[in-house]
Every structure is written in structure tokens, then in C-alpha cells.
């Protein structure tokens, strides 16, 4: 921590050099840093270390990473440690979460589970979802403006829609191996992913097939133009028109069982569902905006600007007991009222 308010973020030397690297750290110290965000010296690591995504690494994969790091040739390179202003470090220190139970990987043979696991450990959705846009087109819907230094690019739509990744599995595998013949912007870290096996890449493709398809053309060549779907200016923006599906008819007897307050303490997320003039609306946390819910089926609803469709769980009789936001791994909000 810095006394004088200086700010210096340093990725440390993690080669096995004993004096200047990780040679003197135990396996547990490395493991805790990677998945839980606590450094060998007990300090909360800067959030940019991305441990919140790596938290999902299975115990077995984590052990493999640690063993691999031990095989690297030691590099003698003394570096200063990260220093953050006290208030930033205090805020940063609230993020690490201890892992207290074994983390098992996807079940062998479950291709889609493997795909979801890889997509989430690599945090593909972090770049491929327009989190900061005035309107979020949806999970993996692209249009996130990603920057490194002075280099910037809009991420692609990876959902199974004509404007996204609608091409065949084999094409996806070769796009990932070759960076689309080297044509992809270097902000897309395809070089890092190009060594993944066909089986791993194919599994990711299969898992992406379960994500709600989003109509959103995004490019990086040409003039930025206004986009109706994400509300930003980006190349190909002029091709996008916000067209929401029309609701399928839902029986009155079902509709009246859905309103209520649903909550996930873990995600810090509350959704209040109410009915008015025959329509269903959702409201998130402290927001004052009503989101109209469009029925995709009797229990599955799309809300404009929501990250993913939501699915209500209906018991044989009576009110819905919970709702699930259909993300890679569904987020469950239990009915609390």
C-alpha cells in the first residue's frame, strides 16, 4: 500500500527464481493468488489480475497451472510491488472471496458443460458483451469497445444469429486457430486461444449455441454509425434496427402466478415482477425503469436490455417459486415476497 498516494501496478515475476520471483512461494500461495486474489504476502491483489474469472478453475486445472509455472526457467528480474492509494486498496480488498469447497470441473463427456467452463474461465463474455453501452443487447451480443493502450476495437457478436457466429462449427474452430486468417484485430487475444484443441473449441461453439441469439451487426472497418440496438456509434451500426419479438399468447391463469419479488443474495440482485393492464413488467434493484417482459414461452420471458431471458419455475399449483436468468450458468433468484 502506498503512503503518498502513488499508483503503480506491476505484474510480478512468477518464474521459479527464488530471490526475485515465485521460487520461495508455496503451491498454496500461488493457488490462492490465481483463484482467490490474495498475494503471497497476504495482500489483496489488484482486480486486473482477473482472479474472479479464474475462481472457476477446477482444482485439477489449477494444480496443472501451478505445476507448469514450476517448470519455467527461473528469470532473475527484481520488480517493485504494486502500490495503490489507500482508498483504492481498501476498495480493492473487498473483492477477494475465499474458496472453501472443492471445485470440480465439468463432468467428463459433457461437451456443453466443458464449453461453458472454458468460456467462463477465459471470460469471453467480459469482452463480448456490451456492459457499458446505453442498451445492453444481451450476453455475448458484442459491441463492447475494448481498449489496450491507444488501440481499440468493438467485440464481435458471438451468438447464433446471422449477424453473429452463425457459421458452422468447423469454421469457428479455424477462426479461433488462425484469427480468421490473421485478419482479426489483435485486441481479440486469438493468439492465446489458437493452441486450444479442436475438442475444446468445438465445445465452446456448442455452448454458445444455447445462448439467446442477438441481432447485432458489429464491425471494425468503416465509419462508426449510430446503432439502435446498443445505442453506441460503431461500424455497421446503421444495419441494426431494434425489433423485439412479439409475445406468444400466455393463459391468464399462468400470468397471474408470476408477479412477485425475486432475489439472489449472492448476486446482490432483486427483480420485482408486476402486472399492469394485461402486461408483465420487471424492475431491477433500485432502478425506476420498468422493463416490459415479452413471452417467448409461457414461462420464459425476454426483457429489452436484460442480459439474458428469464425463466420462471412454476410448481403444479400456486405462484412461481423462483426465476432463473439464463446466463452461461443460470443465476437463480428465489421468490422472497
Q: Which residues in this chain contact ligand HEC in the complex, by CB under 6 A?
A: 122-124, 127-128, 146, 153, 155-156, 158, 165, 175, 180, 184-185, 187-189, 193, 204, 220
Minimum gap (Å) between residue 106 Cβ and ligand HEC: 15
Name the grid cell of 208: 454458445
**In terms of CB distance, is 34 or 158 closer to ligand HEC?**
158
Nearest-approach distance from CB 287 to ligand HEC, in angstroms: 28
Give whichever of 205 and 301 is closer to ligand HEC, judged by the CB atom.
205
For the bound state, the minimum distance from the C-beta of residue 285 to ligand HEC, rounded and expressed in Å, comes to 27
- C-beta of 172 vs 262, nearer to ligand HEC: 172
Q: How far is the CB of 152 from ligand HEC (least distance, A)?
A: 9
Q: Which residue has the cell 486461444?
A: 193
- Tell me the three cell numbers of residue 12: 510480478
Give whichever of 153 and 230 is closer to ligand HEC, judged by the CB atom: 153
Q: Rounded to the nearest 5°, which phi and psi values hold at 272?
A: -100, 125
Minimum distance from residue 271 beta carbon to ligand HEC (Å):
28
Comparison of 89 and 220: residue with beta carbon closer to ligand HEC: 220
End-to-end alpha carbon distance in the chain: 44
| Pair 51, 36: CB distance under 8 Å | yes
Q: Which is nearer to ligand HEC, 185 or 239 (CB)?
A: 185
| C-alpha–C-alpha distance, residues 214 and 320, integer Å | 27
Measured from the CB atom, the residue of 218 and 295 that comes closer to ligand HEC is: 218
Torsion angle (degrees, nearest 10) of CA 244, 245, 251, 253: -40
Which is nearer to ligand HEC, 193 or 269 (by Cβ)?
193
Alpha-carbon span 225 to 240, nearest angstrom: 10
Burial class (CB in 10 A: 0-12, 13-18, 19+), 74: middle
Which distant-in-sequence residues (6+ apart) come within 8 Å of 154 by Cβ?
142, 143, 144, 145, 146, 218, 219, 220, 234, 235
As measured in angstroms, the least distance from the Cβ of 118 to ligand HEC is 7
Q: Where does residue 16 fall: left (phi above 0), alpha (psi -120 to 50 degrees), or beta otherwise?
A: alpha
- Min dist CB 99 to ligand HEC, Å, is 23
The answer to whether 36 and 98 have CB atoms below 8 angstroms apart is yes
Q: Distance (Å, rounded) from C-alpha 306 to C-alpha 53?
A: 21
How many Å apart are CA 330 and CA 310, to the nearest integer? 9
Least CB distance to ligand HEC at residue 204 (A) = 5
Amino acid at each position: 500500500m502506498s503512503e503518498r498516494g502513488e499508483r503503480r501496478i506491476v505484474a510480478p515475476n512468477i518464474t521459479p527464481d527464488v530471490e526475485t520471483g515465485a521460487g520461495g512461494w508455496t503451491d498454496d500461495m500461488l493457488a490462492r493468488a490465481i483463484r482467490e486474489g490474495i498475494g503471497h504476502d497476504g495482500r489483496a491483489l489488484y482486480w486486473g489480475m482477473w482472479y474472479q474469472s479464474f475462481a472457476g478453475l477446477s482444482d485439477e486445472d489449477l494444480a496443472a497451472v501451478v505445476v507448469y509455472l514450476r517448470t519455467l526457467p527461473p528469470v532473475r528480474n527484481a520488480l517493485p510491488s504494486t502500490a495503490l492509494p489507500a482508498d483504492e486498496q481498501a476498495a480493492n480488498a473487498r473483492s477477494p472471496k475465499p474458496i472453501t469447497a472443492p471445485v470440480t470441473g465439468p463432468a467428463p463427456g459433457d461437451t456443453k458443460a466443458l464449453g461453458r467452463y472454458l468460456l467462463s474461465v477465459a471470460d469471453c463474455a467480459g469482452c463480448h458483451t456490451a456492459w457499458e453501452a446505453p442498451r445492453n443487447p444481451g450476453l455475448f451480443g458484442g459491441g463492447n469497445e475494448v481498449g489496450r493502450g491507444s488501440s481499440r476495437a468493438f467485440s464481435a457478436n458471438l451468438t447464433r444469429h446471422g449477424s453473429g457466429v452463425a457459421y458452422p462449427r468447423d469454421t469457428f474452430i479455424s477462426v479461433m486457430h488462425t484469427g480468421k486468417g490473421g485478419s482479426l484485430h489483435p485486441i481479440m487475444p486469438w493468439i492465446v486461444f489458437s493452441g486450444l484443441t479442436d475438442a475444446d473449441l468445438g465445445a465452446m461453439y456448442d455452448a454458445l449455441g444455447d445462448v439467446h441469439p442477438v441481432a447485432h451487426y458489429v464491425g471494425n472497418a468503416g465509419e462508426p454509425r449510430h446503432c439502435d440496438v446498443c445505442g453506441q456509434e460503431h461500424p455497421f451500426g446503421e444495419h441494426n434496427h431494434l425489433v423485439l419479438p412479439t409475445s406468444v399468447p400466455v393463459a391468464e391463469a399462468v400470468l397471474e402466478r408470476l408477479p412477485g419479488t425475486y432475489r439472489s443474495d449472492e448476486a446482490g440482485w432483486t427483480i420485482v415482477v408486476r402486472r399492469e393492464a394485461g402486461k408483465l413488467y420487471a424492475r431491477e434493484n433500485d432502478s425506476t425503469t420498468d422493463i416490459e417482459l415479452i413471452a417467448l414461452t409461457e414461462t420464459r420471458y425476454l426483457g429489452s436490455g436484460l442480459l439474458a431471458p428469464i425463466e420462471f419455475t412454476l410448481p403444479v399449483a400456486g405462484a412461481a417459486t423462483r426465476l432463473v436468468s439464463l446466463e452461461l450458468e443460470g443465476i437463480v433468484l428465489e421468490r422472497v415476497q
